[in-house]
Amino acid sequence: MFKKIYNSPDLFKIVSTYCSENNAEICLSDGLDLHSDDKLLILKTDAYYSSKNMHNPPPSIDCLILVKCDKCDGYDLHLVELRDINSQNGFNKENIVSKFKTIIDNFLQVQFKDIFSRV
């Protein structure tokens, strides 16, 4: 899967060495190395939609983190939306749900189905 991502011009542009947004950042466990291309890959999915020059791009989560499984020929996918809020008043549930739906329903199942689908 990683090779297909690196060979995709659209996806290669959004490969990142970090996942941070809104004054928050993901910290990885010691077993995961950002500089190891064979185990971990971070895609800045929000950058994909904002780079499309759409008048009104769909809402998108900040990052999709892919981790190659050590025990099988599979991957763990972590969908990440980062927020820096002091109370629940700054949390818009409908907006957050729509961000995840964009990635699941469009990014994974339509735009890049050939990479992320095993069917």
108, 109, 115, 116 alpha-carbon torsion, rounded to 10°: 60
Q: Whole-angstrom Cα distance, residue 84 to residue 57?
A: 22
Q: How confident is the model at residue 38 (pLDDT cuts 50, 70, 90)?
A: confident
pTM, rounded to two decimals: 0.86
Q: How confident is the model at residue 36 (pLDDT cuts 50, 70, 90)?
A: low
Q: Whole-angstrom Cα distance, residue 64 to residue 53?
A: 21
Residue 48, H or E segment: helix 45-50
Q: How confident is the model at residue 34 (pLDDT cuts 50, 70, 90)?
A: low
How buried is residue 19: exposed, middle or buried, by Cβ count under 10 Å (0-12/13-18/19+)? buried
Residues 6+ apart with CB under 8 A from 100: 61, 79, 81
| Residues 41-62 pLDDT 10s | 999 999 998 877 778 889 999 9
User: Which amino acid, residue 96?
Assistant: I
